[in-house]
Amino acid sequence: MKTALVTGGGGFIGAHLVSRLKREGFWVRAVDLKYPDFSETDADDFVIGDLRDQAVCSRVIDRRFDEVYQLAADMGGAGYIFTGEHDADVMHNSATINLNMVDACLKRNIKHVFYSSSACMYPAYNQEDPNNPNCAEDSAYPAAPDSEYGWEKLFSERLYLAFNRNHNMECRVARYHNIFGPQGTWEGGKEKAPAAICRKVAEAQGGGDIEIWGDGNQTRSFLYIDECLEGTTRLLRSPYNGPFNVGSDEMVTINQLVDMVSHIAGKKLHKNHIPGPLGVRGRNSDNRLIAETLGWKPSSPLVKGLEKTYAWVEEQVRRKRGENQPSTK
């Protein structure tokens, strides 16, 4: 039986990945500071541990896993990474995890390690025009990410690729572009725009107001979790190191995102644009390289993923209010 290790297996992407690997027939160990927030884990073995501790990394990597997915990081949406308040933690915590993990994998002679970098590593100067952002993989330098989170991702992707060059490892690097879906963080300050907008729409009365950070003309693309996992496993099992964008190329403004979610909810809402953490003005995944190299790219329309995500977030909102039945719209 093949074996896999998922670090960050109690997080959004990690918990979904564990379930997918179990469906594929793997024996799976997950490691995290916490269990998944919204479901029981499907892992065969779930270790609560802090990967900033080298001894924990060595202990959980007690065998030559066939596949290791390193997803653990100190991360969140714009409300977490662009305020500046968490910069020291984000850099120190995530870099320490990555330094420990790649070394522990090398010591066990593990070849196949997946690392989840982020589109936040791309230079801010290429993401100022909301209609024409440039996030081609080869546009990364001269480096100028707009957040410390992005700088740590850039450092760590270089770390894994350096271990490939010097130690014959086969680490794979993906640059995720805003992943969303059911069982993602939807409240509390770390939620990203899709979940935040779903929550705000679910909480709003038809005809009421919804608060949007900025003028809403900033652009993004959002990738549904199932396609993220498809790209992730395809990349790890491919002969290519990356970095590759793993993201959707269906770019929308945040105002369009709000309109799509409002339509799904059947609510007419007035957008109230307020100051907030904004990040780059425009971002979209450039999928030419992954399509040419892996012969695959994400293709599912944004609205399909939003329908599933809205249904799930709406249920969380209702549960929190103590309601059991769908509210009448």
Nearest approach in angstroms of CB 23 to ligand GDD is: 26
> Which residue has the CB atom at the shortest distance from ligand NAD?
11
- Residues that bind ligand GDD (rule: CB under 6 A) add up to a total of 25
Among 277, 296, 300, 307, binds ligand GDD (CB under 6 A): 277
| DSSP code per residue over 153-216 | HHHHHHHHHHHHHHH----EEEEE--EE-TTS--SSS---HHHHHHHHHHHSPTT-EEEEES-S
Backbone angles phi, psi at 179, to 5 degrees: -90, 140
Under the binding rule (CB under 6 A), the answer on residue 192 touching ligand GDD is yes
Give residues 97-116 in contact with ligand NAD (rule: CB under 6 A): 97, 116
* C-alpha distances in Å from residue 253, one per residue of 53, 181, 221: 41, 18, 9
Under the binding rule (CB under 6 A), the answer on residue 302 touching ligand NAD is no
Q: Residue 213 binds which one of ligand GDD, ligand NAD, none, with CB within 5 to 8 A depending on kind?
A: ligand GDD
Q: Residue 81 binds which one of ligand NAD, ligand GDD, none, with CB within 5 to 8 A depending on kind?
A: ligand GDD
Under the binding rule (CB under 6 A), the answer on residue 72 touching ligand NAD is yes
Q: How far apart are the first and last CA of the chain?
A: 50
Among 196, 225, 265, 302, binds ligand GDD (CB under 6 A): 196
Cα distance between residue 235 and residue 114, in whole Å: 8
Under the binding rule (CB under 6 A), the answer on residue 282 touching ligand NAD is no
Whichever of 185 and 233 has its CB closer to ligand GDD, that residue is 185
The answer for residues whose C-beta is within 8 angstroms of residue 40's C-beta and 6 or more apart is none
Beta bridge partners of 7: 31, 70
Whichever of 139 and 263 has its CB closer to ligand NAD, that residue is 139
Query: Which residue carries 């997946």 as its tokens?
Result: 114
* C-alpha distances in Å from residue 62, one per residue of 10, 21, 58, 212, 230: 20, 19, 7, 47, 27
Whichever of 22 and 281 has its CB closer to ligand GDD, that residue is 281
Catalytic residue check, 176: no
Task: Enumerate the active-site residues.
Answer: 149
Residues within the interface to ligand GDD (CB under 6 A) = 75, 77-79, 81, 118-120, 176-178, 191-193, 196, 212-214, 218, 220, 254, 276-279
